[in-house]
Structure 1
Amino acid sequence: MSTPDTDLVWYAGYGSNLDPARFGFYLGGGRPPGARRAVPGARDSTPPRRTRPVELHGEMVFGWESPTWGGGISFFDATGTSTSASTSTVLATAYLLTSEQFSDVAAQEMHREPGTLLQLDQVLATRSHAYGPGRYETVHLVGEIDGSPVLTFTCDDPEHLPRNAPAGAYLATLTRGLRAVHGLADDDVASYLLGWEGMETWAPDEVARLVAATT
């Protein structure tokens, strides 16, 4: 891997941030559709310089209880230790941001106030670094695009995170992102969502109906 340009970084969103419209609230601020809380936005609300689909090597699980969505949310497992997952490729949307914008997005995901530049030296050196014990406070280096690092965040131990089914509003947001960025047909969206741990209480026909009804 070549020396990365840390003035610009790619943020890979695999959960609700799959949807570019939902991700935009982390830059501009406000309350996304279906969410229970507003976010303050970034100091620099400029849209991402580029947006593109990416695939992450690992697995995804649904767990915890989100105060924003009222159900489980997505967590990336870079080690791929979940045994029931039907796939080892996690679909994501990559946004090219300044390091300041990435820091402010990370702060909001960590339920902190934006405004502090996140030091990325440790992540770039070791490929993973925990900034705290919270749900999205572990940052992973998952690749490189055009000389800039691709980063995402998750919890420090997704393998042992208590599983919890996501709410319909959360799945609808993922659906919009999978359609808009990855071009998936409805059947493929439903199959993808059902393939991960935490979805066991969702019947396939329920997911199919939800996907079909999502606009």
Structure 2
Amino acid sequence: MHAARLACYLSGGRPPGGARTYPGCRDPRPPARTLPVTLPGRLYFALESAVWTGGMAFYDPFDPGTMPARAYLVTVEQFADVAAQEMHREPGGELDLSGVLSGGRAVLGPGRYETLVCPGLLEGRPVLTFTAGCRSAEAELNAPSAGYLRHLSAGLREAHGWGCGAARSTWPGGPVRRACGRRRMWRASAVRRAARVRRASRGVGVSRVRAVLRAGGERGCRAGVEV
């Protein structure tokens, strides 16, 4: 996730291009550390975002392959409040992590981001995230919006220092030009336009974004209740 977007979850605010203002966490301090990581599994897009329109990004840790990501070192309280905002709940409550820490996965509800996942440890600490309860194998394709893709591109660039380099070695997969749902399709030229960000942000190289999409990111899924 782009650091500026995470800041909206921590201290409150609305990310540029988004349609929702987030209340923020009880503890608004920035993360103590950030690290680029690579997780087992793959990214896919699903459902319809009320904030960005288009498909939403989800993570399937059981899929083959790997997924570049970014690890933020936050407190348990901050993680609970960020998760609550994505689950459309009020921040400030407790989040039961016992299931995900013991079993690697815990379903807290039927909603879009109500399944907790622990794909492993980093420097002795659990890596935690949240995703949909469905598998990507149950997917219907739904492309993300251009604004959402720009935020993903900026986050990848920021975390991994990516430029316009060789993407295939990092994000192998099928062809770039693939349907992303019955209503939408991403063409290579559209990906190039969507990945462009303002010069100050220096967005991720287009070849990297193409690779993200062809690595399984175009997928969608039927499962999940919109919350």
TM-score range (shorter-chain normalised) is: 0.7 to 0.9
1:142-201, Cα deviation, whole Å (9 max, x unpaired) = 111122100111111132243311100000001101111111114667995959983881
Structure 2: runs of 5+ lacking an equivalent: 202-227
Considering Cα pairs closer than 8 Å and 6+ residues apart, tell me whether 1 or 2 has the greater RCO: 1
How far the C-alpha of 1:34 sits from its partner, in A, is: 1.1
RMSD of aligned C-alpha atoms? 2.4
Deviations 1:88-107 (A, max 9, x none): 21111110011000000000
Deviation at residue 59 of structure 1 after TM alignment: 1.0
Contact 1:136/1:153 (8 A) holds in 2? yes
Q: 8 Å contact 2:119–2:128 — kept in the other structure?
A: yes
In structure 2, what is the equivalent of residue 198 of structure 1? 180
User: Residues 109-158 of structure 1, C-alpha deviation per residue, up to 9 Å, x if partnerless?
Assistant: 11111011111111111110000000100001111112210011111113
What residue in structure 2 maps to residue 93 of structure 1?
Answer: 70
Percent identity, aligned pairs only, is: 44
**Counterpart secondary structure, 1:143:** strand
Which residue type is aligned with residue 44 of structure 1? Answer: D
Q: Distance in 1 between matches of 2:167 and 2:197?
A: 12
Of 182-191 and 29-38, more deviation after overlay is shown by 182-191
- The match for 2:60 is 77
1:211 offset after TM fit, Å? 2.1
Match among 136, 154, 178 for residue 176 of structure 1 = 154
Determine helix, strand or coil for the equivalent of 2:186.
coil
TM-score by length of 2: 0.78
Structure 2 residue aligned with 1:3 = none
Amino acid at match of 1:133: P
1:95-134 aligned within 5 A = 95-134=72-111
Give me the whole-angstrom Cα distance separating, in 2, the residues matched to 1:166 and 1:50: 29
Residue of structure 2 in register with 1:36 after alignment = 19
CA separation of 1:43 and 1:197: change in aligned 2, threshold 3 A: farther
Q: Which letter does structure 2 place at the counterpart of 1:64?
A: L
Give unpaired runs (5+ residues) of structure 1. Answer: 1-17, 82-87
Return the letter of the residue paired with 1:128: R
Letter in 2 for 1:27: L
Which residue, out of 158, 166, 178, partners 2:135?
158
- Distance in 2, matches of 1:74 and 1:45, equals 24
Q: State whether residues 75 and 154 of structure 1, in contact with CA within 8 Å, keep that contact through their aligned partners in structure 2.
A: yes
- CA displacement at 1:209 relative to structure 2: 2.7
CA contact (8 A) 2:117 2:128 kept: yes
TM-score by length of 1: 0.82
Q: Secondary structure at the match of 2:162?
A: coil
In the other structure, the counterpart of 2:208 is none
